[in-house]
Structure 1
Amino acid sequence: MWFIYLLSWVALAIQICLVTLSLAAGLYYVAELVEEFTVMTAKVIKALLIFTTVVYVGLILFEDIPYKVTLVGLFGNGVYSLLLINFPFIEVTSPAFLLSCVMVVINHFFAFQYFASVWHPFSEVLAYFTVCLWLVPFSFFVSLSANENILPTMVEPQKQGGDDDIVSNYFKKKSKRYGLLSVFDYLREQVLPSRSKSF
């Protein structure tokens, strides 16, 4: 009896490793797609914002979720839409980005507070968190690395200072990588270091 119990824990550890590896591979692929198709990504994120806004309105009309939870979510969607103005150029130190990070935390706080006080089936709680709280912020998180591969243009926000050369600013910014893809590249280099070829 103890052997199969031990085997079940080993199998669970293997399954967790495989799910984690599959998730990482999927996120890497999505990050590559986002970098390749930034215009389409902006349209998808805009559609997701509209969809979650419609969901919040539906929650106000058809469910008895408190107004403070849904109105904070709608305000969060308004803040997230500010990030689309200069998409794919997302500066992690900009007020819009910092406020959107704060809104993610506040939305989660109100959601946890509500679902801790009122019982709902797990599927409904997971549906609310997935659609209303995670879908849009996660799409922005995956697209953080998209501005690293965009060619410099006059539309790109100018840096503060006296250097007005667009190409110089572009290559200075290229050294700073913030996105999900850069994290995966770093982990790949640490876990699977490339072999140097000797000739």
Structure 2
Amino acid sequence: MWILPLVGYLGSIVGFGFMTLAIASGLYYLSELVEEHTVVAKRFLSKLIYSIMVLQLLLCIVDRFPFFLTLLGIFSHFIYLGNMRRFPFVKLTDPLFLASCALVLINHYVWFKHFSHRQERAYQNYSYYETPDVPSFTEIASYFGLCVWLVPFALFVSLSASDNVLPTMGNEPSSSSSSSGHGSSGSSGNGKKGLAKALVDSVRSAIAEVSSVTGLKKPEDRL
């Protein structure tokens, strides 16, 4: 067969493109939703962080998860909670924000290594008459999704980059409240632009520039 494999590759590319567009649209919608309901989003994220910390503690006590790895996970979520002090604004050079980014990668690595070694040890001692006591793929994926990636992903969607706020505005929350002042509404809107929304907008503008350069779209047309 020659044509069918090509059709399969083409379908995979098209499906990946649609999936990417769906994720980008979802991020854009969630970012706008958080901008409209900041207080509710802050309350929800704070309760979510505390709930995951309790869940990790229960997994350590009941299911015998490693103590030090659980302690690392709880400490990481405590650092994530520190980003809520100026929610929804975040300074990209803030030590807490940089520590949060590093802890996401560290948690992913150590837990992936833990589950890999656990499966390897279980299958080495595997007997035909015994079922290996290892977590299933669904359980591992659910743990990573809920206890490792959920809070950082939610913070990424919810937080707003404040680096583009005017230097005269020292306090980010006060800049948003002063939007009723003369001429400050535009700068406050820039300060409240979500990270995910800014990322999607930058990708859209880059695609528009490439299209205008290659002649696929006129410069005055909008994407």
Shared fold per TM-score greater than 0.5: yes
Task: Specify which of 139, 147, 150 is matched with residue 132 of structure 1.
Answer: 147
Residue aligned with 2:85, SS: coil
What displacement does 1:154 show?
8.9
Contact 2:161-2:194 at 8 Å conserved across structures: no
Instruction: Tell me the TM-score normalised to structure 2 length.
Output: 0.72
- Counterparts in 2 of 1:20 and 1:157: CA distance versus 1, 3 Å: closer
| Aligned counterpart, 2:156 | 141
What displacement does 1:129 show?
0.7
Letter in 2 for 1:184: V
* 1:113-140 alpha-carbon deviations (Å, 9 max, x no partner): 2012012321111111100111101111
Contact 1:79-1:99 at 8 Å conserved across structures: yes
| Aligned counterpart, 1:18 | 18
* 1:70-115 alpha-carbon deviations (Å, 9 max, x no partner): 1100001111111111211211212211221222122112112201
- Counterparts in 2 of 1:15 and 1:190: CA distance versus 1, 3 Å: same
Instruction: Tell me the TM-score normalised to structure 1 length.
Output: 0.80
Residue aligned with 2:65, SS: coil
| Aligned counterpart, 1:111 | 111
| Aligned counterpart, 2:31 | 31
Aligned residues: 187
- Counterparts in 2 of 1:17 and 1:146: CA distance versus 1, 3 Å: same
Contact 1:104-1:137 at 8 Å conserved across structures: yes
Contact 2:56-2:147 at 8 Å conserved across structures: yes
Letter in 1 for 2:87: F
- Kindly name which structure, 1 or 2, has the bigger radius of gyration based on alpha carbons: 2
5+ residue gaps, structure 2, are: 120-134, 175-182, 210-217
Is the aligned partner of 1:72 residue 2:72?
A: yes
* Fraction of identical pairs, as percent: 34
- Counterparts in 2 of 1:148 and 1:32: CA distance versus 1, 3 Å: farther
Distance 1:27 1:172 in 2: 21
Contact 1:83-1:97 at 8 Å conserved across structures: yes
Question: Which piece of structure 1 moves more, 5-14 or 135-144?
Answer: 5-14
Distance 1:15 1:176 in 2: 33
* 1:127-178 alpha-carbon deviations (Å, 9 max, x no partner): 111001111011111123276899x9996479xxxxxxxx98x949948977
Question: Which piece of structure 1 moves more, 31-40 or 16-25?
Answer: 31-40
| Aligned counterpart, 1:51 | 51
Distance 1:177 1:36 in 2: 11
Distance 2:41 2:98 in 1: 21
Is the aligned partner of 1:180 residue 2:196?
A: yes
